[in-house]
Every structure is written in structure tokens, then in C-alpha cells.
């Protein structure tokens, strides 16, 4: 059976990940692909419960390492219950955030170190890395303004971090894109939703084609 294609969408707050993943799922399905869209932290019952703990505004005393470990725990369970089975079925998995979020937020912005955070995540995910990561790049002031205007979105503990934290998140992501250019594609997320969608769809279709050619050889 054909192996699936694992695509992760990354970026700071308000980059447009949630909105565009829904459009991508629809666009890919219209082209005959079987797609599973999911998110981190969450996507399954246990991970959604962990999400509640991590993002609860009451938990201001949470230690940085505790935070990193909770994200990794949610990731592990989500991978075992949802992501790996879908990939084994040959589906395209579109995941809103994955390991690069931990590297940018906990490793870089929180200051735990990308190497240390990578190590605990290796324990959680083993060898599974995305085939392609789209980094929706947006300046934090633009992204934060968008989520402020988006009335239904609840403000969470991480949103309340200082602007300097969100600036570091963006910097961390851009460093990762520089380090792993073969996996991470930077998409200008300050462009219109339609143009972010079109560029993302093109990149994903090219990766799906590349993977299926690789599997025929």
C-alpha cells in the first residue's frame, strides 16, 4: 500500500494556519486525495485534555520544562492514535503544528535550547518527521492583531506572552527554515488568504507527486 504524506503547517499566532488548512483539505479532496486534517496540541481526547492544562490562563506558574514535556506527551499520543494510522492508510495528513512549534516556542523563545527540546521530542516521535513543513511567516504584530479581531478565538496562556517572546518565536522559526531548507518552505502569510492558499496547495501537490514517484521506483 502507498505510504501517506505528512505535511505540517507552522507559524506564529494568527498566521492563518487554521483557516488555510480547511481550504487545503477541500482543495486536495477535490483533486482526488484522501486527507486527514488535525492539530496540535489536541486532535484526540487525551491530547485535547493536555491542551486544556497547557493553555489554561490560570496556570501562570507552569515551568518551561513542564510545558515542553506536556507538548511532547500530547504529540506522542496524537501520533500513535491518529497520525501514524492515517499515514499507514496512505492518506495525506495536514497537521496544524508539530515539532517545529516546540523548537521555536520552548526551545528558542522560552530559552530551553533547541537541542534539548529536540531530544525530548525524539523520544516522543522516534523517526517520524514531516515530509514537508509550510512555515506561514507573519510579523507578530500583524498576527496578534488578527487574533484580537477574531472575536470567537479564546485568548490562551501563550497569547499573553510579551511581544518580545512572539518576536523570538518568529526568529526561531526562520532559523529552522534556514537550517532545513529541504523540508521547510517559507510562505509569506501577510499576503491574501487566497494567495497563501494557492502557494501552499502548489507546494503540497509537488510534494505528493514527488513522494508517489519515489514509491514507484
Ligand X SMILES: Cc1cn([C@H]2C[C@H](O)[C@@H](COP(=O)(O)O)O2)c(=O)[nH]c1=O
Candidates 9, 27, 40, 78; binder of ligand X (CB under 6 A) is: 40
Q: How far is CA 101 from CA 120, 169, 170, 210, 212, in A?
A: 13, 9, 10, 25, 28
The answer to whether residues 35 and 25 touch, using CB atoms and an 8 Å cutoff, is yes
Rounded to 5°, the CA angle 15-185-118 comes to: 85
**Site for ligand X contains 97 (CB under 6 A):** yes
**Site for ligand ATP contains 84 (CB under 6 A):** no
Candidates 36, 114, 134, 158; binder of ligand X (CB under 6 A) is: 158
Please list, residue by residue across 166-203, b when 16 or more beta carbons sit within 10 angstroms of its beta carbon and e when fewer do.
Answer: bebbbebbeebbeeeeebbbbbebeeeeeebbebbbee
Partner whose footprint covers residue 19, from ligand ATP, ligand X, none (CB < 5 to 8 Å by kind): ligand ATP
Taking the CB of residue 19, how many other CB atoms lie within 10 A of it?
15
Partner whose footprint covers residue 150, from ligand X, ligand ATP, none (CB < 5 to 8 Å by kind): ligand ATP
Query: Which of these segments, 19-27, 80-88, 96-104, 208-216, binds ligand X (CB under 6 A)?
Result: 96-104
The residue (of 30 and 154) whose beta carbon lies closer to ligand ATP is 154
**Site for ligand ATP contains 193 (CB under 6 A):** yes
**Site for ligand ATP contains 137 (CB under 6 A):** no
Q: How far is CA 161 from CA 55, 81, 152, 189, in A?
A: 12, 31, 20, 21
Candidates 5, 7, 15, 184; binder of ligand ATP (CB under 6 A) is: 15
Candidates 8, 38, 77, 102; binder of ligand X (CB under 6 A) is: 102
191 is in an annotated binding site: no
d(CA 82, CA 93): 10
Candidates 6, 105, 136, 197; binder of ligand X (CB under 6 A) is: 105
Annotated binding site for ATP: 11-18
Contacts to ligand ATP by CB under 6 A? 11, 13-19, 146-147, 150, 189, 192-193, 196
Contacts to ligand X by CB under 6 A? 13, 39-41, 71, 97, 101-102, 105-106, 158
Amino acid at each position: 500500500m502507498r505510504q501517506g504524506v505528512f505535511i505540517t503547517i507552522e507559524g506564529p499566532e494568527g498566521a492563518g494556519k487554521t483557516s488555510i488548512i480547511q481550504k487545503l483539505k477541500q482543495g486536495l479532496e477535490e483533486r482526488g486525495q484522501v486527507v486527514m486534517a488535525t492539530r496540535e496540541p489536541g486532535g484526540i481526547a487525551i491530547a485535547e485534555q493536555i491542551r486544556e492544562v497547557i493553555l489554561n490562563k490560570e496556570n501562570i506558574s507552569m515551568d518551561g520544562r513542564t510545558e515542553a514535556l506536556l507538548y511532547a506527551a500530547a504529540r506522542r499520543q496524537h501520533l500513535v492514535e491518529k497520525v501514524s494510522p492515517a499515514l499507514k492508510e496512505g492518506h495525506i495528513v495536514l497537521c496544524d503544528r508539530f515539532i517545529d512549534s516546540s523548537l521555536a516556542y520552548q526551545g528558542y523563545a522560552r530559552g530551553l535550547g533547541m537541542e534539548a527540546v529536540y531530544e525530548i521530542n525524539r523520544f516522543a516521535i522516534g523517526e517520524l518527521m514531516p515530509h514537508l513543513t509550510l512555515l506561514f511567516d507573519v510579523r507578530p504584530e500583524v498576527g496578534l492583531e488578527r487574533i484580537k479581531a477574531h472575536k470567537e478565538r479564546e485568548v490562551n496562556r501563550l497569547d499573553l506572552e510579551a511581544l518580545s517572546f512572539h518576536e523570538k518565536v518568529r526568529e526561531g522559526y526562520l532559523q529552522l527554515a534556514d537550517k532545513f531548507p529541504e523540508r521547510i518552505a517559507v510562505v509569506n502569510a501577510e499576503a491574501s488568504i487566497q494567495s497563501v492558499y494557492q502557494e501552499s496547495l502548489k507546494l503540497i501537490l509537488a510534494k505528493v507527486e514527488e513522494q508517489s514517484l519515489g514509491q514507484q521506483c
